[in-house]
Amino acid sequence: MTDALTYSSHQQQISDNPSIYFKKQNQHNENHENPRTLRELIEYLYEAFSTDMVDLDYLHTIMTNYKSSPKDWQQYAKFKQDRYTRNLVDGGNGKFNLMLLCWSEGQGSSIHDHTNSHCFMKCLDGKLVETRYEWPTEDDQQEDDKKEKPMKLKYQSDLNYNDVLYINDSLGLHRVENPSHTDKCVTLHLYIPPYHQCHTFDERTGKQGQVVVTFYSKYGQILEKETPAL
């Protein structure tokens, strides 16, 4: 089971950026719906964000229609042995971030939100498992309640080669992980707008914390020191 793309209104403001709004069913040049390369996908993204109205369905279409080719993205794929990495491909003039996340064998994320951003995620190589959760309620997180209240599972699904998923905070929280102990995984992420902090959640108790998200590399170059994803 997966959540379909959903919108709270016909026009929806993108987070804290007052000049960008989502809309649906905009007319686009059909020749710009099938990016043949990652560079073409980036060009189409800039075109989509060239006005103050953004069509989520169109973003989903071009993310889906782009077919993974390692020669497009290998220069951005940087792995670490101790944890997964976030590698910036394009900063989107502050309106979006496009990045590669690289998962060595068995690596995964914590349960987290997206701080009012919208996320498209495409599997370029390997396979990920997404586990989606309900938001904990205020009652679940009462500190004076010593009884543990585990996070409520919504569903679990596989993200296979060239699959695309979409999530925002209204659809819940999630954790993603590479289930393989023999193969690495690479995923392409589009975040609208970019964010540099998010909340993580304890699966056993629902208690939340806050973390700064960082880039391991930018534009194919590993950073001497990881920097906040600004």
Residues 6+ apart with CB under 8 A from 225: none
Report whether 114 belongs to an annotated binding site: yes
Report whether 112 belongs to an annotated binding site: yes
HEC string for 170-228: HHCEEEEECCCCCCCEEEEEEEECCCCEEEEECCCCCCEEEEECEEEEECCEEEEEEEE
CA distances to 59, 107, 162 from 196, in Å: 22, 21, 26
Report whether 28 belongs to an annotated binding site: no
| CA atoms in the 13 A half-sphere facing the CB of 176 | 23
* SS3 assignment, position 5: coil
Annotated binding-site positions for Fe cation: 112, 114, 174
Annotated binding-site positions: 112, 114, 174
